[in-house]
């Protein structure tokens, strides 16, 4: 059976970067495609989704499309108004997210109010639907078994664990370590700060545990993290720690910070001390990797 494929369409964090120093890894914001057995999952709708949309229109897949959104920060939804399949009656598109009071359906709709964009969501002609899930609730999309868990990041943000046969892919963008600031809002059950941080830390491990591939927020250098630990992002060293605990095989640095030149990202990669059994890569726009 063919191995699941992971394609990076956007790897930048926070804002798109049209800079020479970012050309190797790519300038578009978060969007990752997972393809297996003819089914397609899309992780986040940053600006990278525009180009993916062009490809999907040119080569329509046999099955409906599913978009899994981690949270509504702009770098994860700003490509949605430019996603061509959403405008085509030929496509069925389901947008999945964690259940939240401020519904994603309304947030995407707000993003396309007439003041900001020329076409409202209601006029997009695909068969568009929205699906919300509780934390940890397992759900199935074609051959994929999926769960979503809250992460320590400002507002309400979750990561996805995707089981594909014997392989697990974990998508953990965006996340701060659960050691310093509590950034997540509205956690169910009104936990104390300490309980909340413990729970959020366990969630990172649940997502990554025994994963074949983990895509993880490595936005900060250690020095940057010290200055901006309240921003909600992690370092490569923090990602390595989670992957070591989870016995992960492959780690992709993700949500790249445009303040760090690509050449420097590769230096971080080369100098990092990966635990035995873990291979570390930098997610690169346009690159496809097989989970095998
Ligand atoms: Zn982000
Ligand atoms: Zn964010």
The residues spanned by each domain of the chain are 5-290
Count of helix runs (H) and strand runs (E) in the chain: 7, 14
What pLDDT is attached to residue 2? 87
Which one of the ligands is nearest to 31 CA? Answer: 1
CA of 154 relative to ligand 2 center, distance in Å: 7
**If you compute the radius of gyration of the chain from its CA atoms, what whole number of angstroms results?**
18
What pLDDT is attached to residue 122? 95
What pLDDT is attached to residue 113? 97
The whole-angstrom separation of Cα 246 and Cα 37 is 27
Model confidence at 1, pLDDT cuts 50, 70, 90, reads low
Which one of the ligands is nearest to 13 CA? Answer: 1
CA of 172 relative to ligand 1 center, distance in Å: 10
Mean pLDDT, rounded, for 221-238: 97
Mean pLDDT, rounded, for 82-90: 98
CA of 194 relative to ligand 2 center, distance in Å: 22
Q: Tell me the three-class secondary structure of 18-46, residue by residue.
A: CCHHHCCCCCCECEEEEEECCEEEEECCC
pLDDT tens-digit profile of 9-46? 999 999 999 999 999 999 999 999 999 999 999 999 99
CB atoms within 5 A of ion ligand 2 belong to 73, 174
What pLDDT is attached to residue 280? 98
CA of 1 relative to ligand 1 center, distance in Å: 34
Mean pLDDT, rounded, for 183-196: 94
Query: Cα–chain-centroid distance for residue 285?
Result: 14
Assigned fold of 5-290: Metallo-beta-lactamase; Chain A (3.60.15)
Residue 51, pLDDT > 90, answer yes
CA of 153 relative to ligand 2 center, distance in Å: 7
Give percent of the chain with pLDDT exceeding 90.
Answer: 99
């Amino acid at each position: 059976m063919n191995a699941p494929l992971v394609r990076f369409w956007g790897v930048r964090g926070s804002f798109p970067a049209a800079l020479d120093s970012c050309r190797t890894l790519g300038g578009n914001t978060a969007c990752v495609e997972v393809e297996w057995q003819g089914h397609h999952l899309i992780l986040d709708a940053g600006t990278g989704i525009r180009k993916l949309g062009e490809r999907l229109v040119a080569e329509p897949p046999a099955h409906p499309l599913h978009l899994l959104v981690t949270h509504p920060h702009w770098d994860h939804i700003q490509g949605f108004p430019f996603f061509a399949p959403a405008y085509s009656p030929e496509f069925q598109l389901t947008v999945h997210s964690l259940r939240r009071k401020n519904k994603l359906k309304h947030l995407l709709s707000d993003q396309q109010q007439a003041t900001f964009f020329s076409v409202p969501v209601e006029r997009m002609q695909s068969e568009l639907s929205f699906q919300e899930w509780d934390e940890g609730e397992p759900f199935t999309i074609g051959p994929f078994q999926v769960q979503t868990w809250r992460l320590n990041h400002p507002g309400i943000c979750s990561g996805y664990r995707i089981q594909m046969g014997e392989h697990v892919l974990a998508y953990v963008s965006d996340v701060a370590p659960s050691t310093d600031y509590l950034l997540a809002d509205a956690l169910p059950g009104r936990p104390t700060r300490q309980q909340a941080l413990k729970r959020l830390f366990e969630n990172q491990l649940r997502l990554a545990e025994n994963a074949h591939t983990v895509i993880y927020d490595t936005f900060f250098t250690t020095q940057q993290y010290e200055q901006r630990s309240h921003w909600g992002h992690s370092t490569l060293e923090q990602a390595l720690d989670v992957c070591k605990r989870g016995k992960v095989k492959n780690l992709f640095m993700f949500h790249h910070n445009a303040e760090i030149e690509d050449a420097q990202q590769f230096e971080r990669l080369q100098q990092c001390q990966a635990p035995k059994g873990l291979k570390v890569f930098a997610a690169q726009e346009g690159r496809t990797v097989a989970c095998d």
